[in-house]
Structure 1
């Protein structure tokens, strides 16, 4: 999964965690070995039917995905004689049922204005928030950004740690570049360890973690009196602000680097004015 599919360590660990209960059903009496050769479709179905009803829809869906991955590996590896992937039941669910919860333009301005750019931490936090809300980056992508990933002359930024270990290039807007440059000149500690752009303000000056980027967003929201927000909320915000500014769904999908257009289509529900133009009157309503 990690080497061939580009799955992150955390995702692989989550799959392992979800599959432990399934494998425990096949532990031999000695407790030292697994009886995987005797796996049947009935075993697979029984595990899903027994386990998934107790789980949330998201965890249940992830469980069956992990189970399919495990069974596919066991077959390719020769541990089992036939593929049992098709025996895994599908967990019912509806995609794109919710609405993306982006911040309004005035809320974004308040969030950015809450950073005291005269301080090292405020200068850093302002640059982080600007990148999240203007480029729709994930928290982990901001945390792992390297100095060499910024092409100042070409006006581009390289995202080398996105999902699936892909390397992609995005345009570097002027305001984002100015925020990063101000941080590099006035906020980034001279003794920062490594080549990561964003680092801890207090020693030791290690690179920020994904969790630290999320905390920056949460603390900024608290200063503004907002409900608790996370970094991914600003990814939704970037998309909704683009939509309101006249950008098309394909353009939003390019910025967010969605592989599937269906993933981007959820933002169509945010443009309520456009939806009203194609909505039919409810039967019985006055025209």
Structure 2
């Protein structure tokens, strides 16, 4: 038996959770039902027992558990029963105890844990995020980022929007320009522009202040799309080990990214009822709550069937693609990009211009070289602007070479 297993067994044997004993048992049963391994469950059980044991030593009633209680548990100089001795518990260990407290909250025996009290002005920013969610149709990730960006600017802008003017707004942005990158500053101006428009609609500041925000220089569509060749895309797809559940899942994901140019968010949000098997179509929910039906390629459809039949964990989730280890939650966008990055490494492609899911979306430009029109490409990639789709015309370098003219610098007058 490994030393880690011996430590867990010793902690489980000596830690007495007291009144929380039945809840610890119910907690471990829940974790097992989610598919966690016995070793993982033993780690959670040891943390939960330790937390219950410490509550008794500190004379804290179960009903009094709150966020401060968990912090005190994290900071206590542990000399509790068992083999654990530490001046401060690790974050991973405390997070296991925190998850146990969340389980107690689900059962209705303690108040749900709350994070730090929001700072001044947070209420207005939260209302702004609700407005974005209701009227703008952007993703939760973007809504959260906009809120963080506005919070970063509020100390320079001040607490009262009625006092905002063009000079103050420009100073706030120019001040941030000294401390952050151009890309981050552009995102910040986008968030502030939306915030000022929201305030204006609520009558909290003067209308039109969003026009006072300085423009961050950017030459749109000036560079070539970054992509890998069609042969390299096929190598990436073929790198998946289809004898394992993870390989079966990853192959289906990569085929959807490569064949339809989907975004990472399209994959993570894809649901079982989005596929119409009789029509051979896939419903995709894009930016701005737009929904379109795309033809489902045969190889991608077959890969999804293989995943649903042989590799998808038995979890009650509407989303198609799930983690392969417990808890079986839907993939997030970052996980989809990681699938691409790992596949590039397996295929020995180290010159890729990027390593995320968008790389395969850009590589969908192979449709143009195969003879597809820009209108077709724009429909598949769901571009709102024809200018964005026209950006992909520049990847046909062979065709461009036929129409280029000699550089006139050496021509005689």
TM over 0.5: yes
In the TM superposition, residue 17 of structure 1 has moved relative to its aligned partner by 1.7
Q: Of 269, 290, 300, which residue of structure 2 is paired with 1:176?
A: 300
Aligned to 1:216: 339
Cα deviation for residue 285 of structure 1 reads 4.8
Query: Quick one: distance in 2 between partners of 1:195 and 1:49?
Result: 45
| Superposition deviation, residue 49 in structure 1 | 2.3
Residue of structure 2 in register with 1:3 after alignment: 134
Deviations 1:62-93 (A, max 9, x none): 22222221111111111124431222222222
Large movers: runs of 4+ above 4 Å: none
Aligned to 2:149: 18
CA root-mean-square deviation:
1.8
Matched, 1:99 2:230: no
- Matching of residue 73 in structure 1 with residue 198 in structure 2: yes
Return the TM-score normalized by structure 1: 0.91
For the Cα contact (< 8 Å) 2:157–2:168, is it kept in 1?
A: no
Quick one: structure 1 residues 92 and 183, their matched pair in 2 at CA, closer, same or farther if it must change by over 3 Å? Answer: same
Measured after TM superposition, the shift of residue 121 of structure 1 is 1.4
Residue matched to 1:31? none
Instruction: Write the distance in 2 (CA, Å) between the matches of 1:267 and 1:81.
Output: 41
Q: Does the alignment pair 1:86 with 2:217?
A: no
CA distance in 1, matches of 2:142, 2:296: 30
What secondary structure is seen at the aligned counterpart in 2 of 1:50?
A: helix
Tell me which residue corresponds to 1:156.
Answer: 281
Of 59-68 and 131-140, more deviation after overlay is shown by: 59-68
Residue deviations 1:202-258, cap 9 Å, x none? 2332222222211111111111122361111011112x2111111122211111101
- How does the TM-score come out when normalised to structure 2? 0.64
Change (3 A) 1:143 1:82: closer
Q: Highest Rg: 1 or 2? A: 2
5+ long unaligned stretches in structure 2: 1-131
Partner of 1:25, secondary structure, is: helix
Q: Is the 8 A contact 2:283 2:293 kept in 1?
A: yes
Answer yes or no: is the 8 Å Cα contact 1:57–1:93 preserved in 2.
no
Find the counterpart in structure 1 of residue 320 from structure 2: 197
Higher relative contact order (CA 8 A, sep 6+): 1
Separation in structure 2 between the aligned mates of residue 54 and residue 275 of structure 1, nearest angstrom: 41
More helix by share: 2
State the aligned residue count: 278
Pick aligned residue for 2:181 from 35, 40, 56: 56
Of 361, 365, 371, the match for 1:235: 361
Distance 1:263 1:54, change over 3 A: farther
Distance 1:24 1:131, change over 3 A: same
CA contact (8 A) 2:157 2:172 kept: no
Partner SS, residue 134 of structure 2: coil
